[in-house]
Amino acid sequence: EKRVDKGEYASLSELAAALTLMCDNARTYNAEGSPYHAAATKIKKAIQRETKRQSLAPAPVAASHSTPAPAPTPAPPLSDGLTRLLSVVKASKNDEGVPLHEPFVKLPTRKALPEYYEKVAHPIDLATI
């Protein structure tokens, strides 16, 4: 969350790409069917849903000639969208209600899991994001 807090993401799609990379890394390293693979898959789907939700703009209302068109609603600040996307990741839970994001907060050390760093080209965790 360091980069979000520092305002280093220029767009929602940039943050979504970083979060998706985190999930893809977990899916690359962990076997399909493992709890980490399943958590990464569920979080990735939540990222996709929220990114799509935020990118959908309300359809303009057709105004009659006698009624002036309403002023467009300003978009919320970028930081609100980024914070919302991170909140969605943190709110993701498994069927038992256990938060899914916790294994993704901090990367394993190179000493603890050297093979992770051999399989994953661009490691990233929530603490960094």
Lowest mean pLDDT among 1-15, 31-45, 80-94, 109-123: 1-15
Q: CA dist 74 to 57, 70, 78, Å?
A: 11, 12, 12
DSSP 3-state assignment of 54? helix
Q: What is the pLDDT of residue 78?
A: 74
Q: What is the pLDDT of residue 55?
A: 86
Q: How much is the mean pLDDT over the chain? A: 88
Residue 111 burial class via C-beta count within 10 angstroms: exposed 0-12, middle 13-18, buried 19 and up: exposed
Cα(100)–Cα(23) distance, integer angstroms: 11
pLDDT in tens, 20-58: 999 999 999 999 999 999 999 999 999 999 999 988 756
